[in-house]
Structure 1
Amino acid sequence: METKRKKFQGVLNILSFNRHFYIIGLGILGVIMISNQLFEWPELLFWIIIAAFLYGLIMPLLVSAYVYDFSGYYEFEWLKNCSIDHENTKHIININAGFDETSFIIKDNFPQADLKVFDFYDAKRHTEPAIIRARKVSLVYPDTKQISTHSIPLPNQSVDLVFLLSAAHEIRSHEEKIQFLKECRRVCNPNGKVIMVEHLRDLPNFLAFSVGFTHFFSKAVWGNAFENAGFTFFKEVKFTPFMSIFVYNP
């Protein structure tokens, strides 16, 4: 299966999946510009507001281009920093939230391994317009199975590697996060790893996405969830200032 991404695919995804924000933002910007013709705004205030709106519209696209199109994220070079024993990695699961850009790439990186793909998307709980649109264009890995975040249909300690790539933040409830991570720990063998990649609710992502950074969770929130799920050891690898790779051992 061809896994090479198109140029600027990350930016195009952001525009497509979040077009409602851009339509609303451009609409408000248009109203402000028209109102400036009808009423005399203080010139400095007018240009500050225009600059703020343009920043909020353009900066997420620039950062997305950097992270998803130019940083090498989808080349998986960052796996070298995760201490993966490729030779003894025989059973892998990749869990997504209804949008899968990584399963075929994972299989290319671990051709000898058995890869199972699970999708925990729940239309009743995960109502973000962006993820609904993303599902319509997502590649579906063969035999992808729909699951609940409360149950991964695999035996105890049967998996060497669990991938959670830019998906786990779609679980908005903290208690649901904990239950889901308990399931990840249950299926992961004692020498295995859970690799989670996420944007964080921190200063760099605030500067990148402004109020949109609230869609993500802080390092402390994730740390609490993993600790309550029974994980005791982890390391964080920073992949660009805007994305963190967490490697957890059960």
Structure 2
Amino acid sequence: VLNILSFNRHFYIYGLVALLVIILIKVYFSIPDFAFWIIIVAFLYGLVMPLIVSAYVYDFSDYYSLRWLNQFNLKDKENQKIININAGFDETSFLIKEEFPQSELTVLDFYNPASHTEAAIIRARKVSLVYPNTSKISTNHIPHQDNSADLIFMLSAVHEIRSNDEKILFLKECHRICKPEGKVIMVEHLRDTANFLAFSIGFTHFFSRKVWEKSFKKAGFSSFKERKFTPFMSIFITTP
């Protein structure tokens, strides 16, 4: 939650300034009390509810313990190749290595300052932990051999690829490098009712289940399964 406040502080500053302006208008002009309090409650809801939900989803859940991976019966073993892909803010690579100490972990970062221009991700990169030997990649090419990865993790990252065509190209690359019996595990918020209630207009930063399913199928994946991690977060597991 502290990270969210820090990375998105411009939104909270704008919101508090707008709230102050509304209060000043109420002081100097005649506004019906009912309308005034509706506006105040709406503003406070929009500012506070995302923090409450984020605390629930991240800080007070098992998200960072990775216990939610147990349901997929993933095994740690020698000669297993795991790839973790992030969008410039890496919260999970060290955790994945702890969970799979015998496996070979490669970390890839597809952040592109020309197209990924949101202030939040720029600030996040400045404080992000960097896993040793993290490689910079482009979304249209992952420099790994065909059928070489056993597991590919994409945890709260791929929504930063805003273009649907770019998403499909990126997922095609994931399909290419993943072994036929391998798995791609993606975690994302969705553009759905639960996340609208949590983040109001901010839920447009995410994509719907339909968009993700269509993108994975166009990229060539043969399966697409969803499991919920809290009502606000979805785990997608796919196979080539």
1:7 aligns with none
1:86 positional shift: 2.9
Residue 143 of structure 2: which of 150, 153, 164 is its match? 153
Residue 28 of structure 1: which of 18, 36, 44 is its match? 18
2:195 aligns with 205
1:51 aligns with 41
Residue pair 2:216, 2:224 contacting (<8 A) in 1 also:
no
Residue pair 1:81, 1:237 contacting (<8 A) in 2 also:
no
Tell me the distance in 1 between the aligned counterparts of 2:219 and 2:167: 9
Residue 96 of structure 1: which of 86, 89, 114 is its match? 86
1:130 aligns with 120
Residue pair 1:89, 1:161 contacting (<8 A) in 2 also:
no
Unaligned runs of 5+ in 2: none
Unaligned runs of 5+ in 1: 1-10
Tell me the distance in 2 between the aligned counterparts of 1:56 and 1:234: 33
Corresponding pairs, count: 240
- List, as ranges, runs of 4+ consecutive aligned residues in structure 1 with deviation greater than 6 Å: none
Tell me the distance in 2 between the aligned counterparts of 1:88 and 1:235: 27
1:234 positional shift: 2.1
Tell me the distance in 1 between the aligned counterparts of 2:90 and 2:51: 20
Residue 180 of structure 1: which of 157, 170, 176 is its match? 170
TM-score, with structure 1 as normaliser: 0.95
TM-score, with structure 2 as normaliser: 0.98
Q: What's the Cα RMSD here?
A: 0.9
Structure 1 vs Structure 2: percent identity of aligned residues?
66
Amino acid at match of 2:9: R
1:81 positional shift: 1.6
Tell me the distance in 2 between the aligned counterparts of 1:87 and 1:145: 23
Amino acid at match of 2:28: L
SS class of match (2:162): coil
1:6 aligns with none
Amino acid at match of 1:230: G
2:27 aligns with 37
Residue 61 of structure 2: which of 67, 71, 79 is its match? 71
Amino acid at match of 2:106: K
In the alignment, structure 1 residue 249 sits paired with structure 2 residue 239 = yes
Which string of whole-angstrom CA distances, capped at 9 and with x for unpartnered residues, describes residues 80-135 of structure 1? Answer: 12232333771000000000000000000000011000000000000010000000
Which string of whole-angstrom CA distances, capped at 9 and with x for unpartnered residues, describes residues 30-82 of structure 1? Answer: 00001100001011000000000000000000001001100110000110122
